[in-house]
Structure 1
Amino acid sequence: MMDSSTHKLYHVHDFDSRQCLENYFSDKPDMAFGDDVLKSTIDNLRQVFTVGHINGDILIDLSLSSIVHHLYSACEFFKNIIVLKVNNRCIMELKRWVDERTGAFYWGHTSALHQEKEENSDQCQDQEAKLRSAIQHVVKYDLEKENMTDPLVLPPADCVISNCLLEIISKDQDDYIRYLRKFSRLLKPGGHLIIIGALGTTYFTVGKDKFHVFTYDEDFVRKALGGEGFIIDYCNVKERTAVSDLIDYKAVIYIAAHKKK
């Protein structure tokens, strides 16, 4: 077993957001995570938003790297999306796409996956343009500050979504619960929290670097949410199908919960 003490920390060490996108989210023929990371996420979140009646004015996104594919359904149900990023490289990569600048990462393959599920997909408005318009702000945050976006004070959100972030910023169970609590403070009373996580993971690779991942299971995250006053409305676990040594997750979990008023 690899010594995890040598692994880098996503929010502390230099992180190559573009290489991460190429490894795990691209349309390259050898990209192994199309079903587990792209299609499954789009399918589950479409179901969460449409069936779960989750909607409102403000959604706050706290997710890995500069990913956007998990927000396609969200922009159908929320007027404004505020994206929080922990480092400058992730911010620059995301803004390059939002502003349609030369060299922006290509997300067309994921918007096509989303539109395949829409009844009027051939008449569907350009999903990427719709999402770009919904992303109102991209803000840097600091996990150790009481107000993570200090000096900016964010309006309370109707929904917070976190995609594969809690486990890579948490060293242990206590960290996970502490950060979960911070994220939940961004919500209005009765607001919704959506978590996508990689179960049973110890590391993920970006370029030559291996990054730490806190290992947990479904039972742990269920108890953590319950302990913070959330009621779980949706939970689905997709067992791993990808063949790759870039990351050692066993399954992907999708959970939607609402905060007790």
Structure 2
Amino acid sequence: MESSKHKHYHVHDFDSRQFLENYFSDKSDMVFGDDTLKFVIDNLKQIFSEGHINGDILIDLSIGSFIHHLYSACEFFKNIIVLKVNNRCIMELKRWVDERTGAFYWGHTSTLLQEKEVNSDHFEDKEGHLRSAIQHVVKYDLDKENMTDPLVLPPADCVISDCLLDAISKDQDDYIRYLRKFSRLLKPGGHLIIIGCLDTTYFTVGKDKFHVFTFDEDFVRKALVGEGFIIDYCNVKKRTAVSDLIDYKAIMIIAAHKEK
């Protein structure tokens, strides 16, 4: 299938539950655990534990409806606002937030973070703590100047974006345009954390292949600097998973702050 014929996450129907089952579940045949789960959880714990990134409001702009990337963040922010581009992802996330029957199971990710906790008793209600911190789940429209119009969001101390820029950008100009739009959600001096898959062309959900913009670490660094960010942290992990569901070469986490 040619890349131009791949579906687009923010345009076409997207099976949010199948996406979670493929890339984030605790099933024995889910081979991405070291990359999508452990690497992300470990690095975000390190980033937030340094104490530089904290405040009142964190905005999450990520693909799908996963939550494990927010575990550490909820210790340092009073309110988390989650933005989603489609209704299925909103419904999937709200099912977990509201503890409804049939919600996706995230206990295996809680265990991964618990292994890092000195006081495991403190960790017992990590999922409950995160549920309490998620104050709003809001639908957005990438084509609008104010993505959440008519709702005007308060300026955020931090924006975290996991693989969304990868999925919605057609090319380099698109990536930079969306990066600029996301950065407008920040307060002066605010922090941006980006998680992305490097050298990727597609990912698979069910029978559908979805487009991914292909980029490398150097491109992201230059894009951030070009938008006035100072890079504080970057880590890249080479792929370990063996699967043809997605063709990424590595996964990257980069944290930066906006110059005042």
> Paired residue for 2:108?
109
Following the alignment from structure 1 to structure 2, what is the Cα–Cα distance between the partners of residues 68 and 123?
Answer: 19
Give 1:162 shift. Answer: 0.1
> Paired residue for 2:2?
3
> Paired residue for 2:150?
151
> Paired residue for 2:239?
240
Following the alignment from structure 2 to structure 1, what is the Cα–Cα distance between the partners of residues 212 and 111?
Answer: 30
Which segment drifts farther, 7-16 or 120-129? 120-129
Q: 1:257 to 1:145 in 2, by over 3 A?
A: same
Letter matched to residue 130 of structure 2: L
Where 2:50 maps in the other structure, the secondary structure is helix
> Paired residue for 1:41?
40
Percent identity of paired positions between Structure 1 and Structure 2: 85
Give 1:245 shift. Answer: 0.3
Following the alignment from structure 1 to structure 2, what is the Cα–Cα distance between the partners of residues 153 and 114?
Answer: 34
Normalised by the size of structure 1, how large is the TM-score?
Answer: 0.99
Following the alignment from structure 1 to structure 2, what is the Cα–Cα distance between the partners of residues 42 and 91?
Answer: 22
> Paired residue for 1:118?
117
Give 1:125 shift. Answer: 3.9
| CA root-mean-square deviation | 0.7
Structure 2 unpaired stretches of 5+: none
Letter matched to residue 200 of structure 1: D
Summarize deviations over 1:45-95 as a string: whole Å, max 9, x none. Answer: 000101252100000000010010000000000000000000000000000
Following the alignment from structure 1 to structure 2, what is the Cα–Cα distance between the partners of residues 114 and 156?
Answer: 29
> Paired residue for 2:63?
64
Where 1:142 maps in the other structure, the secondary structure is coil
Which segment drifts farther, 70-79 or 2-11? 2-11
Listed as ranges, the matches of 1:170-209 within 5 Å are 170-209=169-208
Which segment drifts farther, 65-74 or 45-54? 45-54
> Paired residue for 1:80?
79
Following the alignment from structure 2 to structure 1, what is the Cα–Cα distance between the partners of residues 34 and 211?
Answer: 23
Letter matched to residue 27 of structure 1: D
Following the alignment from structure 2 to structure 1, what is the Cα–Cα distance between the partners of residues 87 and 170?
Answer: 22
Following the alignment from structure 1 to structure 2, what is the Cα–Cα distance between the partners of residues 122 and 25?
Answer: 25
Where 1:133 maps in the other structure, the secondary structure is helix
Following the alignment from structure 2 to structure 1, what is the Cα–Cα distance between the partners of residues 167 and 51?
Answer: 27
Letter matched to residue 82 of structure 2: V
Letter matched to residue 84 of structure 1: L
Letter matched to residue 30 of structure 1: D
> Paired residue for 1:138?
137
> Paired residue for 2:126?
127
Letter matched to residue 153 of structure 2: L
Summarize deviations over 1:153-188 as a string: whole Å, max 9, x none. Answer: 000000000001101000000000000000000000
Where 2:4 maps in the other structure, the secondary structure is helix
Summarize deviations over 1:18-63 as a string: whole Å, max 9, x none. Answer: 0000000000000010001100000000001012521000000000
> Paired residue for 1:32?
31
Where 1:59 maps in the other structure, the secondary structure is strand
Summarize deviations over 1:84-120 as a string: whole Å, max 9, x none. Answer: 0000000000000000000000000001111110110
Letter matched to residue 83 of structure 2: L
Where 2:247 maps in the other structure, the secondary structure is coil
Following the alignment from structure 2 to structure 1, what is the Cα–Cα distance between the partners of residues 121 and 178?
Answer: 41
Where does structure 1 differ by over 6 angstroms across 4 or more consecutive aligned residues? none
Where 2:138 maps in the other structure, the secondary structure is strand
Following the alignment from structure 2 to structure 1, what is the Cα–Cα distance between the partners of residues 40 and 137?
Answer: 22
Letter matched to residue 104 of structure 2: F
